[in-house]
Structure formats: structure tokens, C-alpha cells
Amino acid sequence: MNISLPLTVEICGSYHELTAEVVVDYTPAERGCREPGTGMQMEPDYDESFEVHSVTVLNTDITHLLDSEQHDAIAEHLREMKQEGNL
């Protein structure tokens, strides 16, 4: 999935609005199997997930410049966008 996200960066004390092109794998939430009648859980539930593969700004791949916390923050932002219906 390719997604465009607004990005604000500070360069020499000035703020600039850019667009980041993010490539992610999206896996929807999945409810594990339940036993008929009792409802006992037989398989685990899985939350939805967004896995960031690449982030490009101004045609430059900056993925290698981002740490795991920044990848997680992008994924969380995408989750919030999806919950709000903006994705």
C-alpha cells in the first residue's frame, strides 16, 4: 500500500511542508477460531498491523535514516488515520 503523508521539517530554523511517500504492508485484524457452543478460544486473535517498508521524501529514500521508534510512530499514525476513516 502506498500512502502520502504530510511532513513538516526544520531546515536552518525555517519550517517546510513536504510530502512523505510511505510504502507499507497492511494486515487487517483477525479473530481466532472459537469453539462452537462454549466460545472457548482455540486460536489467538491478531491485531491489525502496518509494517513500514520505505519512506521517500523529494524522491530520496530516507528509510535507513529512521529508527524503530520512528517506524512505530508512522505505523501508529496510520492506525489512527484508519480508525478516523481517513485511510
Domain extents in the chain: 2-83
pTM: 0.71
Cα dihedral value 72, 76, 78, 79, nearest 10: 140
The per-residue pLDDT of the chain, averaged, comes to 90
* pLDDT the model gives residue 10: 82
* pLDDT the model gives residue 63: 92
The number of beta carbons lying within 10 Å of the beta carbon of residue 65 is: 10
- Sequence-separated contacts (24+) of 67-76 with Cβ below 8 Å: 74/5, 74/22, 74/24, 74/50, 75/24, 75/49, 75/50, 75/51
34-67 pLDDT, tens digit each: 888 888 888 888 888 999 999 999 999 999 999 9
Burial class of residue 68, CB neighbours in 10 A (0-12, 13-18, 19+): exposed
8-42 pLDDT, tens digit each: 888 899 998 999 999 999 999 898 888 888 888 88
CA angle 83, 57, 2 (to 5 degrees): 40
